[in-house]
Structure 1
């Protein structure tokens, strides 16, 4: 019986073994053929491979890649010899000639690439792929190989394409040049290189324009924490196996997952950002452990001329994190390639004749560079006149400098590097357009204050940050120069028009008042207004009563209403919120606030609303149904959230709140952040809900200039500002968020086992709650961090099994958020940054 078993084992081993042997090196006269898929060099450790790599239909490049496939079956390319000139799938070869030169031939005829190492004086030459991913051509005069008698004739580390590997130096003679796209490996316009000032910089070098964008181009030398002094002529940058990067200009950073045992690469990505990646070998995915640009819209060239970029930093997908839009009066050239920008709708150049062009205003918008000149301490009227006096002026940037306390004027000859963000509070762009174009494509909007006439404009489209439907308004025509006119004739015409207009307005006002009054008697007008403003579906009360089985399945309740589970007619499972106290003013006010607020918001970490009901005294809202209910329910149930899930919930909630605070042109405060208002979907991803107590803040007034008619929130999660009657800002939500995170970490509610008391005048006399308990437990060990102190405060349900690094981060972030001094608390975007530094610890 032993012989058959032995034969079976031999056959099985043969069937499992590779069909071809691994090629370790090339010697003189040998070659690799594109027609032989097995002609691949493999590093001794098996991590890297080199050979022909398919880059398209019948198109191949000689490349080096990570041998391990990613989750989608693809390989990660780290170097290419002929990225801009792929070779044919037949007869193409990589040859190591007898004269010592390494060449790549296309279809056996044309030499498309050469290492340039032809040297007949060297008797022995060998090409090999090292464990570092370096393809090295070695030469030796001796007939036997050894490290002592061989010299390096050529190596791929000296000629990087878009990627650096550990210990591969980027020098003054090399650069990283991005690819055109993730599937097109040819050279693109973004490069990482050392400039003549010895600085490591990022450059957009387009077919027409070029500009530096990292570090910030307006920073000089030491302002960017860089040193222009390099030793001799040496300029180099390198990172080691642990993920520590160091450059001769002073740039230094470490990977978020710093440490050995991880495969890493630094790549000049197709979107113009330089990123350090770490490989999760178990999942087959690369994760970002450092990046040069935290705000992708600051990268030049992404949105071409006459267009601007808007940024959604909380989107997980890179493709969705940036959006481009054309300036008014311009159309996109190629929707599939926004780098080409937009072209004007008007065929003739802007006229230099006074009165034939006008301006349109875009708030919160900045275009960097290409100024005709710069005028300091200018009024808006002066800036308008300067632009009108230049025939090549396409518009101007007008901004308030808080440091210099005056206004600056930047007339533009080109509109490039556009960026629209709520951060640009004092930045306004005025686009110059022909008047005939403007008058032929208009819709009415509100009149500007102090404007002599009413102005009209079609709303801009694709403004992803404009979640408040803010309109763009015309510049006051009173600023423009006008030709002299007959004063008497002008007065008579104006008086006639004014009188006729007044009569028309009076008639229309009376008619509209009678019509709306009649409609209001039955509530129809209000319902029509709601439908117009929100766009949601309007349900009848009977529909929702039937969907919820007569409101029989209660799944939650709060101060403003009770939530029931229901099934709509189209089969969707919904959460139906029935507002309580609906007959009084407060209930209807909260309904209107919640409906109007949610109607302006759209984010993956905010609850999605499907419809509403306004019928008699009934006020109902229809939401998407969240499978795992609220965070409060999950924490108090037998279901145990692991440390990774708690970290993800904290991060997702922070992203939702940051969107409310900072990414809308009309800021929103939630004012009641607590576990009951954080809902969890089927993947335990959080969505912030219940905006019934939210407070909209007009952007023009700033997010700190708010007034509230009553205290809002839930005891235990309320910031001290509510108690002391202080100015209410977005930091009240930050405080509440910190309390929620502490509750997630500890499993204890804010007031568990502790006492809070207040004096009659509202001053907090003693607070011994969850915050002090956590701080005391941490300080018992004489330090803030560590597994010993964490073990005393982490939720006992975890039974001591938790990710120490992630829980440390959550505690640290939470304690910063619950500082009594609101100025000491971080913003929600800063909270996201702190959490993302540790997200790759998974």
Structure 2
């Protein structure tokens, strides 16, 4: 049957050319895979180009924010203007030497401390301290020197102190750190941050306590405040060669003379600075500042984190009409007595009674015992018996990983379905 031209075209249609131009190119592989051809349309290539430009700009912005800034030496006029001549509302209750303000367009926190160092050496010390950056440290922005005081400026980080999280005077039965993983996360951040301060920054913190630890949301990560303040204020003198060897080996040289001593006050008596309950015995006896005293203070903070109690408490005995001091270290040692004195079940019962009850017994007892033992190693009376922060950070990291495994085993499964249809 003959067909006209119109019928022939209708029975055998040809594809219409697309308005969008397309390109194809062969893709070869040096291996034994077959040769393939990939095609892209011009519209999709423009979309990919736009997405790549957006991701590149975002990555550059993130990289720019992560780069360290040049440390700043502020003038006292800037500090005075930002704090209303030091009359602004103080940052912490009961303290008149800390302010939150806006300084050069940044939300900052200023701390005032006595200055005992050499003003000529301050720029060099500031440059050395500002080279250190860690996620567990509050960022240092700069300093200002005026008279016999130094004003240390830090970047403001939202959050609450560890002391406020553990002991809320308005509601003692509530704590945001109500899970075991939140507390072991804080312990791991503190151990890694102090290990970085000692072995990578080469400075001494000298202010480790629960009120100097900032807990941030939403994942309850911890940040150490006052990083570098002791070195910038001149509380830590320049180390000798013997102490440099001690810092490199992590051991205490018995032949090296004690040099990190606190400065004497004008009256000739040794001026002891620190918080009660966190000061190592050697600080109370001779005033030697060292990394081992930082380790001691960290051990107290770890015990405080586990129990929720203060380092020192005073109780009044109604019968004896006397006041008794209760030490957190002593109660922890009583709870973790050696196994020969009691059975394993009795020891775990004591540990459960000692650990903060607001955790509701929902934690691995073995991990809690291990963390108590690590903390008690840190608070040894003899400074030479305390471990260095590399050992402490490794132990705490292992306890954290074991706790993650425990969390996976007790987590409620969500990958199951329930059918209520009739059979």
Task: Note whether the superposition's TM-score is higher than 0.5.
Answer: yes
Residue 85 in 1 paired to residue 48 in 2?
Answer: no
Task: Work out which of the residue numbers 358, 362, 381 in structure 2 matches 1:801.
Answer: 362
1:627-679 residue CA offsets vs partner (Å, 9 max, x unmatched)? 11322222222442132122122122112221222224xx3222231112222
State the match for 1:611 in structure 2.
142
- Does residue 1:718 correspond to 2:268, yes or no? no
Match of 1:677 in 2: 212
Match of 2:98 among 563, 567, 588: 563
Give 1:535 deviation, angstroms.
4.3
Question: Which fold has the larger relative contact order, with Cα–Cα distance below 8 Å and residues 6 or more apart in sequence?
Answer: 2
Q: Say which structure is richer in strand.
A: 1
Residue 160 of structure 2 aligns to a residue in which SS?
coil
Shift, 1:565, TM fit = 1.7
The structure whose residues are more often helix, as a share, is: 2
Q: 1:761-800, aligned counterparts within 5 Å? A: 769-779=327-337, 782-783=343-344, 787-800=348-361
Compute the displacement of 1:817 (Å).
Answer: 1.0
**Aligned alpha-carbon RMSD (Å):** 3.8
2-structure distance, mates of 1:697, 1:640? 41
Tell me the secondary structure at the aligned position of residue 838 of structure 1: helix
Other structure's SS at 1:659 match: helix
Alignment partner, residue 662 of structure 1: 199
CA displacement 1:690-749 (0-9 Å, x = unmatched): 244452553733244442035443221111222333865422111111011001110111
1:497-546 per-position Cα deviation (integer Å, ceiling 9, x unaligned): xxxxxxxxxxxxxxxxxxxxxxxxxxxxxxxxxxxxx9422434454455
TM-aligned CA deviation for residue 805 of structure 1 = 4.2
Report whether the alignment pairs 1:835 with 2:396: yes
Structure 2 counterparts to residues 58-69 of structure 1, below 5 A: none
- Describe the SS at the equivalent of 2:109: strand
**CA contact under 8 A between 2:190 and 2:223: conserved in structure 1?**
yes
TM-score by length of 2: 0.60
Q: How many residues align?
A: 302
* Structure of greater Rg: 1
Q: 1:791 to 1:804 in 2, by over 3 A?
A: same
Cα distance change of structure 1 residues 538 and 729 upon mapping to structure 2, 3 Å threshold = closer
Give the structure 2 partner of residue 251 of structure 1: none
Measure how far apart 1:566 and its partner are.
1.7
| Aligned twin of 2:108 | 574
Task: Show the counterpart of 1:687.
Answer: 223
Paired with 1:618 and 1:776, the residues of 2 have a C-alpha distance of 44
Q: What TM-score does the superposition give when structure 1 sets the normalisation length?
A: 0.32
Matches of residues 511-522 of structure 1 in structure 2 within 5 Å? none
CA distance, structure 1, for counterparts of residue 111 and residue 166 of structure 2? 22
Aligned equivalents of 1:839 and 1:59: distance in 2? 48
- Contact 2:71/2:126 (8 A) holds in 1: no
Structure 2 gap segments, 5+ residues each: 1-25, 38-68, 169-173, 247-251, 263-269, 317-323, 405-423
Distance 1:675 1:775 in 2: 20
The correspondence of residues 54-133 of structure 1 with structure 2, limited to 5 A, is: 85=31, 87-88=33-34, 90=36
* In 2: Cα distance, 1:58 partner to 1:785 partner: 70
What whole-Å deviation, never above 9, does each CA across 1:40-70 have from its counterpart, x for those lacking one? xxxxxxxxxxxxxxxxx9588xxxxxxxxxx
Aligned to 1:648: 185
**C-alpha spacing 1:633/1:697, structure 2 compared with 1 (3 Å):** farther
- Residue 108 of structure 2 aligns to a residue in which SS? strand
Q: 2:239 aligns with which of 678, 684, 698?
A: 698
Post-superposition CA distance 1:572-605 (Å, at most 9, x none): 32212234xx6xx65998x959857733533332
The match for 2:296 among 729, 735, 744 is 735
SS of equivalent to 2:300: helix
- Partner Cα distance (2:347, 2:27) in 1: 57
Residue 536 (1) aligns with residue 71 (2): yes
Give the CA deviation at 1:753.
3.6
Counterpart-to-counterpart distance in 2, 1:669 and 1:613: 21
Structure 1 counterpart SS, 2:111: strand
How far apart, in 1, do the equivalents of 2:225 and 2:192 lie? 13
2:163 to 624, 632, 650: 632
2: CA distance between counterparts of 1:587 and 1:743? 33
